[in-house]
Amino acid sequence: MYSLGNLANPEKLTSPLEINPGDDRFLMKSLEMMYLIRRTEECIADLIKSGEINCPCHLAVGQEAIAVGIAHNLNNKDRVFGNHRSHAQYLALGGSVEQLLAEVLGKATGCSRGMGGSMHLYSGDHGFHGSVPLVAGTIPIAVGAALAAKFDNKNAVGVAFFGDGACEEGVLHESLNIASIMKLPMIFIVENNLYSSHLDIQQRQPFDSVARFAIPHDVDSQVVDGNDVVAVEKASRELIQRARSGDGPGLLEAVTFRWLGHVGPNEDIDVGVRRSVTELEAWKKRDPILRLYKALEKHRLISPQDFKNLKQNMDELINNAKDKALKAPWPSLDNLNKFVYAPHRE
Amino acid sequence: MERQVTYSEAILSAFEYLLKNYPEVFILGQGVWSPWYVGNTMQGLNVKFGKGRVIDSPVSEWACTGIGVGASLFGYRPIIIHPRMDFMVLATDPLVNQAAKWSYMLGGRANPCVTVRSIINRGGEQGAQHSQALHSWYAHIPGLRVVMPATPTDARDLLIAAVLCDDPVLYIDDRWLYEEKEALPPIQELNLTQQQPKVLKQGKDVTIVGSSYSTYLAMQTAKELKTHDIDAEVIDLRILNPLDPSVIIKSTEKTGRLVVIDGSWRNCGLAGEIIASVVEKIDPRILKAKPCRITLPDTPAPTSRVLEEIYYPKVTGILKKVISLFTPTEQNENEPLMADIYELKKQKLI
């Protein structure tokens, strides 16, 4: 009961994705975005190692498919909120690489003017309205955004991205209950990577599938392979369409695994109670990028040369962004107390 | 004679004004359809403005407050109601971690203009978890404006100002003031960021500072002090955070004596903060007596009536303390108030 079964077994689901060749535009775009996210995260990891980045960064290498699949069904009127591990969501929605890198570096040109760092990202123009590291903190905030959307009657949805650890916070249950009773256009996205920091889900919960929490609140839910961008796109499309048409909230559980440690640039296999080299190596075979690439190649939608070009373009984009971010100015010192309160209304 | 309006009626009229004139205002909280929770301060709002805008909520302080923060980022001015402050502790994350820091940590890209209204409801043997006045705690947090009205006019106009302010505001009213009356001037839309402490009564001998119900105590004490030939100046703090002590500094420089009354605890509390903010700015030689604070004892609220009787500051005790500043040798400055009241009470009980 409430078991993820094969979804949590890295020996399974390693073959190329099942794709519909007619979706080639979405698929190519997804491949490009997932690669962009991975390389940006790797770029950040390198900048941490070289000492340029100081702030804590929770990297999403291995988890790229979730944000990319969901972003396909969102627009800039939607209200998306993230958590400590939100670089992927920010980028998938269209946030600028340069502003992300500048933010993580603490530069004035950052997406949050250098006031937030890695854990406080913002790109309102793309529908990304903020991320915070207090686990579960943005869940009710996204529900509030969904309530505002319902008042406005403009078919926008509120979206909260959070992890399996956040499901152990009471506010998720308060939020599911209220979203359900008020029939709000709200989408709960659980990126279940099977670990909360160092501790695996078996040590924390009696079952490994968290979608079970939706059931008693009468919230529609789906559970998918989070490393399958096609499955994520399809499941989220159904839930989002339902929410947009006024049929109430939905919860998507996307099962994945992070290749790096909870925080920082290393694999951290020694800090986990269960996390091991064997487990990590097995999960790397369920690589969301490679599985999509192989499917595209199988259907002759991409050649190795095309993929090489795609990689080159993305690498170039990231390198340019990195150069600009590194050269960007620091915040002026009077920013220390500039943003505590809103600009005064006279 | 002009009609006298109570503090609680004044709060109700602020809600009516806001809901009538600002379609972006809505209310969410527990018990807002019930006088049992919120007295008559919200009576009939759900009928007049609809249950879609005046929403009685599930028992979920954290989520409801977070929802207020979220909705405020998208064009709305939500008012979240916590009918008893003790329960608001369950909403600490959305208030302290989220609302108060949202603008700062996102570099001013967004401002959550949510108002959280909380009621201090104590006395009547309600005990440790049904009596707290936690304003000092919240006033510690940069980014969270904290407002405590003492008069019916402020109860109305500061609530309106709080809701129209672009920052998160915690508005705290006190059930012990609900029956206080005054003739109300026409509604004024104040700019909350420009509000300061107010001199409610001018005087030359001692400055007494209060906020909310403590201001009421200060005014009553000032009346009694007249019969002792002491002319007290009373200052109502009104805005606890950000704190602007300039009015109090000026007054203390004039009177040379400073007494702060506060209905929260002593340690790391509002009273200590006000005294510190004044004494670090003045020439200590102008002080005619040591500044003094009158607070709750550092214990949770008791239930038994004999203990509750000595728990809360009262005019008799405050009066005695203020008079002692004019005859400085006979008191131990540290704990005189409690001990004295306790003595009095003991004698009465014997």
State the smallest CA–CA distance between residue B63 and chain A in angstroms: 5
Predicted confidence at residue B327, as pLDDT, reads 86
- d(CA A138, nearest CA chain B) in Å: 8
Give pLDDT, residue B328.
57
Give the rounded percent of residues in chain A with a pLDDT score beyond 90. 95
Whether the CA torsion A239, A244, A247, A248 is positive or negative: it is positive
Is A340 within 8 Å of B104 when comparing Cβ atoms? yes
- Alpha carbons A262 and A85: distance in angstroms, whole number: 9
Closest residue in chain A to residue B53, using alpha carbons only: A151
- In B66-191, DSSP assigns E strands to 77-82, 115-120, 145-147, 169-174, 181-183
The reply to whether residue B103 touches residue A342, judged by beta carbons under 8 angstroms, is yes
Residue A240 lies in a domain: yes
Of A110, A147, A340, nearest to B142 by CB-CB distance is A340
Separation of alpha carbons B264 and A320, rounded Å: 56
CB A53 within 8 A of CB A105: yes
Which residues are CB-neighbours of A106 under 8 A, at least 6 positions away?
A54, A55, A114, A117, A330, A331
- Residues B230-252 have a mean pLDDT of 98
Measured over the CA atoms of residue B46, residue B51, residue B55 and residue B58, the dihedral's sign is positive
Stretch B180-202: mean pLDDT:
97
Res A345: pLDDT: 53
Asked if the C-beta of A187 comes within 8 angstroms of chain B's C-beta atoms, the answer is no
Q: Where residue A270 sits, what CATH number does that domain have?
A: 3.40.50.970
The CA angle A192-A264-A15, to the nearest 5 degrees, is 45
Q: Which CATH architecture has domain B4-191?
A: 3-Layer(aba) Sandwich (3.40)
Q: Kindly state whether residue A17 falls inside one of the protein's structural domains.
A: no
* Cβ pair A140:B72 closer than 8 A: no
Check residue B1 and give its pLDDT. 66
Q: Choose among B98, B103, B164: nearest Cβ to A137.
A: B98
Q: Could you say which residues from 195 to 224 on chain B have a Cβ atom under 8 Å away from some Cβ of chain A? A: none
Question: For residue A103, what pLDDT band results from cuts at 50, 70 and 90?
Answer: very high
Domain of residue A80: give its range. 26-337
**pLDDT per residue as tens digits for the range A40-73:** 999 999 999 999 999 999 999 999 999 999 999 9
Mean pLDDT of A191-215: 96
At B345 the pLDDT is 55
Query: Residue A346: its pLDDT value, please?
Result: 47
Is B165 an 8 Å CB contact of chain A?
A: yes
At residue B36, the pLDDT reads: 82
**Cα–Cα distance, B175 to A296 (Å, whole number):** 68
Which tens digit of pLDDT belongs to each residue from A71-82?
999 999 999 999
Range list for CATH 3.40.50.920 in chain B: 198-349
Q: With an 8 Å Cβ cutoff, are B143 and A340 in contact? A: yes
**Chain B residue with the nearest C-alpha to that of A339:** B104
Instruction: State how many domains chain A has.
Output: 1
Contact A178 B74 (CB under 8 A): no
Q: Which among B30, B57, B74, B239 is the top mutation candidate for probing chain A, defined by the most A β-carbons within 10 Å of its own β-carbon?
A: B74
pLDDT of B216 over the 70 cut: yes
Within 13 Å of residue A267, how many CA atoms lie on the same side as its CB?
A: 12
Instruction: Using pLDDT thresholds of 50, 70 and 90, give the confidence band for residue A270.
Output: confident
Chain segment B112-127, per-residue pLDDT in tens: 999 999 999 999 999 9
> What is the third-level CATH fold of B198-349?
Rossmann fold (3.40.50)
Q: Is A175 on the interface with B (CB under 8 A)?
A: yes
- Tell me whether strands B4-6 and B181-183 are parallel, antiparallel or unpaired: antiparallel
Per DSSP (E only), the strands in B104-231 are 115-120, 145-147, 169-174, 181-183, 198-201, 206-210
What secondary structure letter does DSSP report for B98? I
Mutation target among A107, A174, A218 for the B interface, most CBs of B within 10 A: A174
Task: Show the tokens assigned to B62.
Answer: 């954290």
B110 to A151: CB separation less than 8 angstroms, yes or no: no
CB burial of residue B332 (10 Å; 0-12, 13-18, 19+): exposed
d(CA B123, CA B301): 9
Are A116 and B165 an interchain contact pair (Cβ–Cβ within 8 Å)?
A: no
DSSP element (H, E) containing B135: helix B135-139
Band of the pLDDT at A261, cuts 50, 70, 90?
A: very high
Asked if the structure places residue A121 within a domain, the reply is yes
Mutation choice for A interface testing from B59, B90, B103, B109 by most A CBs within 10 A: B109
Indicate yes or no: CB of A144 within 8 angstroms of CB of B57. Answer: no
Partner residues linked to B81 by β-bridges: B29, B117
Residue B107 touches partner A, C-beta closer than 8 Å: yes
Residue, of B345 and B30, whose pLDDT is higher: B30
The answer to whether residue A240 scores a pLDDT higher than 80 is: yes
Does A147 touch chain B if contact means CB atoms closer than 8 Å? Answer: yes
**Within-domain flag for A12:** no
Q: Predicted ipTM?
A: 0.97
Give the pLDDT of residue A253. 98
With a cut of 60, say whether residue A194 has pLDDT above it.
yes
Q: Min CA distance, B33 vs chain A (Å)?
A: 17
How many CB atoms neighbour CB B77 within 10 A?
Answer: 21
In chain B, ranges of CATH 3.40.50.970 domains: 4-191
Tally of helices (H runs) and strands (E runs) in chain A:
10, 8
Nearest CA in chain A to B99: A141
Q: Which pair of tokens denotes residue B293?
A: 């604070």
Instruction: Output the CA torsion sign for B76, B77, B83, B84.
Output: positive
Tell me the per-residue pLDDT of B69-84, one tens digit each, with 9 for 90 and over: 999 999 999 999 999 9
Q: What digits encode the pLDDT tens for the residues B328-349?
A: 565 555 554 554 555 555 555 4
Task: Tell me what pLDDT residue A273 has.
Answer: 78
Q: Is residue A259 part of a domain?
A: yes
Q: Find the range with the poorest average confidence among A136-140, B35-39, B113-117, B295-299.
A: B35-39
| A153 in contact with chain B, both atoms CB, cutoff 8 A | no
CB within 8 A of A19, min separation 6: which ones?
Answer: A27, A230, A292, A295, A296, A299
In this predicted structure, the answer to whether residue B37 has a pLDDT above a threshold of 90 is no
Contact A115 B72 (CB under 8 A): no
In angstroms, the CA B14 to CA B151 distance is: 13
Q: Which of A287, A297, A321, A305 is nearest to A35 (CA)?
A: A287
Nearest to B76 among A148, A181, A345 (CB): A148
Contact A341 B97 (CB under 8 A): no
Q: What is the pLDDT of residues A133-151, one digit of tens each?
A: 999 999 999 999 999 999 9
**B94, A342: Cβ pair inside 8 Å?**
no
Asked if B70 and A144 come within 8 Å (Cβ–Cβ), the reply is: yes
List Cβ neighbours of B209 (8 Å cut-off, separation of 6 or more): B197, B218, B234, B235, B237, B248, B258, B259, B260, B261, B274
Model confidence over A285-333: pLDDT tens digits? Answer: 999 999 999 999 999 999 999 999 999 999 999 999 999 999 999 999 9
